[in-house]
Each structure stands twice: as structure tokens, then as C-alpha cells.
Amino acid sequence: MAHHLIIPVEYSDLREHPAVRAWAQIEPRCIAPKRIVALKEHRKMSSKSSVYRLEGMSRGGAAIIAKRCRRWSALLERVVYRDILPYLPFQSLKYEGFVAEPGEKFCWLFTEDAGDWHYSPLLREHRILAAHWLSVLHTHLPDLEALPSFPDRTVKYYSLRRCGIKQVTQLCLGKSLSTGDELKLRELVEVGHTLECYWQEIEELCEAIPQCLIHGDFVHKNLRIRSNGKSMHLLAVDWENTGVGVPATDLAQSLSYAQFPGFAASPCLEAYWSKIRRHWPLNRETIQRIGTLGTIFRCLEAICWEMERFKAGGPLDRYIRRLDEIQSILRYAMKSNGWYH
């Protein structure tokens, strides 16, 4: 496990940083932090979320994580950190507070710091830890009716995401492309057409899976490892893609841990099944198919995200390369479930 690069924030007076001023509304007697580290930052406080570590700012002198994001996202994550995670039988981050900016379009969410030790899908012990953690998340929330406002993550949601294949290829094919790049896009279109043919079978598979709360973006950048020297614990951050539906996306598997480490956490499906079978009447083969289905769903999400990035601008060849990588993962997953020949 390796530390990620630490980038301190340069500010003439750290007390005037927006994150500190927001925290001061919760703790009026707070002092200047020892240091502010930008974990995720966008210029001029744009609509995208920004995340900072305020060192020495908590009531006990530890670090606080300050996340600035849109109101809907902050409200959703506040429910998760404040009302759900503390009541589940695993370690979770402490919720520290919530502050709305003037106009209430953006908000600040404050939590305990998860640390810098990132999860790695290259380590089997991490994949097993992730599987056990997910088995708890997916089975220890009996009253889903208490979450009426949570986003839909049923198969209907992913059915709508299929449109992203057609939309992004139409956008790219309207540009000047090399013969090779055009061929890659047309291969993606072909894979999309094949997926359409098997969608009813996918829906039937999803009907056999209990609905539950999912993380929705279960990848290494959103996972941390905490160890007390005797045991390891998984901590999950960034819940803005959470929802209620099928657990497939959380179980997504990468085509290659080394080549695509950021695509999925790739939890050990055997370890997941060993825990989940106590609660759900699903056999090992079904869990394997669900994991592969999660890979397909994650590909559909990734294609839609690439489309949004493409609309925002940037080198066309970079998006073609990314789409080709996603297409290779999507095609492999479909073959694994017998949906591509």
C-alpha cells in the first residue's frame, strides 16, 4: 500500500480558506488548521466537488475532511454518514457536520479523516476484506422503505444508461477520425447492439437478486484501509452515487487488476458468497454472474461519464482510447455470461 501525493494548499491566512470558514460555523472557536491539503480540487470553486483535509481541526485535534459539493449530493451523503453507517456492524467514518453556502446551491459536508492508505485490487487480502464489507452493507438494511428518496439503482436505471453507447458514438463519429478510431467506435456500437438482444435475460437475472443499499462507485479511490496492527478495516468515502437497487455494480470485476486498477474494486466473489449465502438463497454460480453483470453495468456508467467529459472538451483521441478500453472490458464481461460470441 502506498501513500498518494500530498499537495498542501497555499493560502495567506488559512483561517480565510472557504473550508475553514464553513467549519467555523459549526465550531465558532476553531483556530487555524496546521495545514490544509487538497485531496480533490477544481478551479474557482466550480460545480464539481472539491475535497480538503483540515489538519488539527477536529474537537480532538485530528484532521477533518471538508467536501464541497452540490446540495443534493451533500444531503444524500449526510444521510449515509449520519443515519445509516453508524448502525451497521463495521467501522465507518464519523459524521462531523453540514453547512449550506449562501443560496444553498452548494454545501459543505464534514467527516472524520479516513487516512491515506488506499485499497488495492492487486492484493487478495484487500479483495476479501471488500467482499466481507459488502456482504454486511448489502444485508443489514432491512427497512428500505425508510429510504424513499434514495436514487433508483434497479435494472431500470441501467437500462436508461444503455443509451450512452449510442449517444457517445454519435458524438465522436461526427468528428474527423482515423480509420482505426472509427473502427473502434463501430465495434462499440456492435457490442451495444448485442447487449440489447440479451437485456431481457439481464432483467430476469436482476429479479432474482434482493434489493439493497449500494455504494455505487466502489473503486479504489473511494476506499481506505485502516489497521490497528492486528486486523484491517475497510472505510468507504464518496457516497454520492449511492442508491437502492441490485448490488451488481459494487461487485464489478476488472478485466485486469494491473491494467485497469481504477475500474473496479473487484471484491472476491467467493468470499462474498461465503457470507451472503446465510442471508440470500443464491448459489455460487449466480453470484459469479451477478459480479460479471456488475462489470457490464459499470461499463455503461463509465461510457456515460466519458460522454460528459467529451462534451466538456479535450483531445478526441484520449476519449477514443478510453472508450476502446471500456469496450474491451464490456465485451469480455458479456462473453463470460454467454451474451457475446
Query: What was the pLDDT predicted at 7?
Result: 60
Query: What was the pLDDT predicted at 302?
Result: 93
Residue 143 has pLDDT above 70, yes or no: no
Residue 322 has pLDDT above 60, yes or no: yes
C-alpha of 59 from chain center? 29
Q: Are 320 and 181 in contact (CB under 8 A)?
A: yes
Of 167 and 47, the structure prediction assigns the larger pLDDT to 167
Sorted by sequence, the CB contacts under 8 Å of residue 241 that are 6+ apart come out as 151, 215, 216, 217
Alpha-carbon gap, residue 7 to 284, rounded angstroms = 44
The CATH number of 14-112, from 3.60.70.12, 3.20.20.150, 3.30.200.20, 3.90.226.10, is: 3.30.200.20
pLDDT in tens, 32-85: 888 899 888 766 555 678 999 999 887 677 899 999 999 999 999 999 999 999
Q: Where are the domains of the chain?
A: 14-112, 124-336
Superfamily of domain 124-336: Aminoglycoside phosphotransferase (APH), C-terminal lobe (3.90.1200.10)
pLDDT in tens, 194-209: 999 999 999 999 998 9
